[in-house]
Amino acid sequence: MLSFINELKRFDDEKFIKRLQKTSVNDVHRVLAKRVIDLKDMAVLLSEAGGRCLEEMAQRAHQKRTQHFGKAVVLYTPLYLANHCINGCTYCGYNVHNKIDRHILSTEEIEKEAQEISKTGLKHILILTGESAHHTPVSYIVDAVKVLKKYFESISIEIYPLTEAEYKEVIDAGVDGLTIYQEVYNPQIYDAVHVSGPKKDYTFRIQAPERAARQGIRSVNIGALLGLDNWRLEAFKTAWHAHFMHKHYPELELAVSMPRIRPCVGGYEVDHPVDDHAFVQIMLALGCLLPSVGITISTREEASFRNNLVALGATKLSAGVSTAVGGHSKDQEASDAQFEISDTRTVEEMKVFLKSIGYQPVFKDWLDMQDVRMERQAPC
Amino acid sequence: MDKLIIGGQELDSRLFIGTGKFPCKSIIPEVVEACKTEVVTMALRRVDIDSKEENILEYIPKHITLLPNTSGARTAEEAIRIARLARAMGAGNWVKIEVISDMKYLLPDNMETIKATEVLAKEGFVVLPYMSPDLMDAKRLVEAGAATVMPLGAPIGTNRGIRTKEMTQIIIDEIDIPVIVDAGIGKPSDAAQAMEMGADAVLVNTAIATAQDPVMMAKAFSMAVEAGRIGYLAKMGKIQKYAQASSPLTGFLREGGA
């Protein structure tokens, strides 16, 4: 079957690194002057020489992305439904071996969270869980979606990878977006950091976006968790993955993210740190290659840093974030968080900020296609 | 200027505008006023009726004909659903069908557009379909009950002008319902060109919304559309390949024979 994994298998990390080393600033300028930047040019943009041309890259990314998206940023917030998890991932606070407060929201609690979030005006929500077939099976997700549909126009999931039939089930229930990060594209490192649990299955995870796309999901957000391998390699593979999805599923609204590992319970030591300069280089390279692909920036990043990323091409920002289960409706956090957030601004604060720099905060960029209002329509 | 009639409605202005990409919504009433447009399109996916501040409909003057569009639809079925939702929300019965199944170039899918047009026209909608300029598909749209056809001048948002000139001209020449050039119009002279070609109207968004002064640009477009239309009605003189000599070489034949 046609799958990104078959292309990725042919990739040679060392050859790529060598190519990066041969790149000059002149090469970067030549690429930036091209009408269309292709995948081969990504090596040039991600090179050290590319890092010396960030302003030129920023100008191109800004111009192309503004043309496609306008000066608009979609706002959303994550809603953590549960933090039970059977996986042993070295970098994650939800690791099965971590002694943390675990909690799962009941239907009533989900409704309370939804009410609190919808008071802020948000219409896009991203629901998250750990992986536990016992605590949060697909039927639990479907029930949650049914509740949330009353309050939100767009519901995305960031949960464990599903089978194709299960994706159909959640899409039919009203899910229109999938966020799934491969975490690390290098299979050896993937195996090493995912010590135990179903998440060890690299192939099942990397093919998840393809399964969801085949079932007609509207939007997919992919990415790598930066810090687990050489960021130039991971950024290239993320770009390639997005490029592959764009080519084979052109109807998808695609977005990429470049989350950096944050401090969490368990205290993971980052092997390959990514500084702000590198982060911006990755974002701009992706933005230049894929001007019509969205870029989502979470509150893993600092407020002042995120502010500067808007003009560089960020298209989706989270706001009013709590990474704890029940964190929106309870005074005291009901559980330990997945990671510490770095931008604690409310939705209102984000809105005011975006307007102050001449960008439109977009609360609604999709509509519930199963809206009951439509059923009242009688054909003339 | 002569009136344009669409769906039984008489329009004085032949400039339709879009509402996307403006730096802030509060500028929209001024833009509408400056260009005297009577038809404004908005993506239903972005219409947020629950919020007075964010609801685009709050910024569109009441006398304007709303033209909700089906942006985000990837299939005929989705476009149909969005159109019905728009009507249920009270946005009238005009709809701009936009079916895009390729997010990279945002080019319209004519086949799905034709299917959606057929269904919605039967349901009483005034259907304005956005299309790639193809004569056969334009004819199919007419047959499906479209109120207009809206061929693109260039890929949406590119400001590249009427790049599809030859194909669009054929549609203008051959199709009897109004032809509105949509997408790609980047500057007032592009709009004037479309009107001189005989287009019945143009739809402009990016060029106005992303101008440094959108209100002034709206006015410029209004003037260009009017100039182009009047120029078209005035029937332009023939374009000559060579300069025409004031002392013709064969003049002696007429003189001598007299």
Residues making up chain B, counted from first to last: 258
Q: What is the pLDDT of residue A335?
A: 66
Q: How many degrees, rounded to 5, is the angle at CA A348 between CA B23 and CA A259?
A: 85
With beta carbons under 8 A apart, name residues in chain B contacting A362. Answer: 46
Predicted confidence at residue B258, as pLDDT, reads 47
**CA-closest candidate to residue A363, choices B94, B50, B167:** B50
Contact (Cβ atoms closer than 8 angstroms) between residue A83 and residue B173? no
> Is the CB of B103 less than 8 angstroms away from the CB of A246?
yes
Mutate to test the interface with A, among B44, B51, B71, B104 (most CBs of A within 10 A): B104
Mean pLDDT of B111-123: 97
B21 interaction partners in chain A (CB closer than 8 Å): 70-72
What is the predicted pLDDT for the residue at B25? 81
Edge-first strand order for the sheet with B126-131 is: B150-151, B126-131, B94-97, B65-69, B39-43, B15-18, B201-204, B180-182
**Lookup result for tokens 């709590």:** A322
Q: Among this protein's residues, is B219 annotated catalytic?
A: no
Least confident segment among A90-104, A294-308, B61-75, B124-138: A90-104
Q: Where are the alpha helices (DSSP H) in A22-70?
A: 25-32, 39-45, 48-51, 54-69
Q: Which domains does chain A have, with CATH numbers?
A: 4-364 (3.20.20.70)
Distance CA B84, CA B89 (A): 9
Q: What's the pLDDT score for residue B84?
A: 93
Q: Do A367 and B209 touch (CB under 8 A)?
A: no
Q: How far apart are CA A262 and CA A85, in angstroms?
A: 18
Structure confidence at residue B250 (pLDDT): 81
> Residues A267, A271, A277, A281: what is their CA dihedral angle, to the nearest 10 degrees?
-120
Give per-10-residue mean pLDDT for chain A (380 aa): 92 93 95 94 95 95 90 93 91 86 92 94 94 93 95 96 97 96 96 93 97 96 95 96 95 94 72 92 96 93 92 94 84 64 90 92 86 47
Q: What is the pLDDT of residue A264?
A: 64
Please state, in angstroms and rounded to a whole number, the distance separating the CA atoms of residues B151 and B177: 13
pTM attached to this predicted model: 0.89
* B103 vs A250, A363, A369: nearest CB: A250
| Among candidates B23, B47, B104 on the partner chain, residue whose Cβ is nearest the Cβ of A358 | B23
Q: Chain B: which residues have CB within 8 Å of chain A?
A: 20-25, 44-48, 50-51, 54, 72, 74, 78, 81-82, 84-85, 87-89, 101-104, 106, 122-124, 157-159, 206, 209-210
Domain locations along chain B: 4-257
Report residue B256's pLDDT band, with 50, 70 and 90 as the boundaries.
low
Tokens of A256: 């990429």
Residue of B nearest to A378 (CA): B123
CATH topology of domain B4-257: TIM Barrel (3.20.20)
3-state class of B112 per DSSP? helix
The helix (run of H) or strand (run of E) holding residue A154 is strand A154-158
Q: How far apart are CA A102 and CA A80, in angstroms?
A: 12
Q: Which residues of A touch B (CB under 8 A)?
A: 66-68, 70-72, 121, 123, 218, 246, 250-254, 292, 355, 358-367, 369, 371, 373-374, 376-377, 379-380
Residues B208, B231: Cα–Cα separation, whole Å: 23
- For chain B, strand residue ranges (E) read 4-6, 9-11, 15-18, 39-43, 65-69, 94-97, 126-131, 150-151, 180-182, 201-204
